[in-house]
Amino acid sequence: MDWLWWIGAALLFAVVEVVTLSFVLIMFAGGALVAAVANALGWPFWVQVVVFGVVSTILLLTFRRWLVLRFHRSTPRTLTNADALVGREAVVLAPVSESGGRVKLSGEVWTARVPRGALELPTGDHVRVVRIEGATAVVEPLALGTGTADPATAGGA
């Protein structure tokens, strides 16, 4: 009945693996299962421990990398925080230039600016977020020619 200790260890490793998803403890669970078989065959405890260590190491070196790659390939990437805002539409609340401005983005007011060399965007324009730099949204007009200031007045001429 000593093999049940190995089975219990394997179950414990498997349960903790479900929480961590590191694909390390599941390899230890495999080693514990093979050690349980060694116990059932009547092998001495020190041999069971060696079997546990060797099998766990072999599993870590051969299968872990493949499992991690497969897991990441099959899991869709969910954008969060600032990454989720890139590409979203915003509305200009205060004129946006290279030096600053304000936009309403996802229900919040953000500091915004246009990329270097771009025209100032007037209040009310709809813009798209190009990137987030710290707490500032870098924006551009939704479509060329839509909502851009008159080039003759934008440069202060």
Residue ranges per structural domain of the chain: 3-74, 81-154
| pTM (2 d.p.) | 0.52
What the block records as the tokens of 116 is 């270097």
Q: pLDDT tens digits for the chain (157 residues)?
A: 888 999 999 999 999 999 988 899 999 999 999 999 999 999 999 999 999 999 999 999 999 999 888 888 877 777 667 777 888 899 999 999 988 899 998 888 999 999 988 888 999 999 999 998 888 999 999 875 444 444 333 333 3
Which residues have a Cβ under 8 Å from the Cβ of 104 and sit 6 or more positions away? 90, 91, 93, 110
Give the separation between CA 56 and CA 10, rounded to whole angstroms: 11
Domain topology for 81-154 = OB fold (Dihydrolipoamide Acetyltransferase, E2P) (2.40.50)
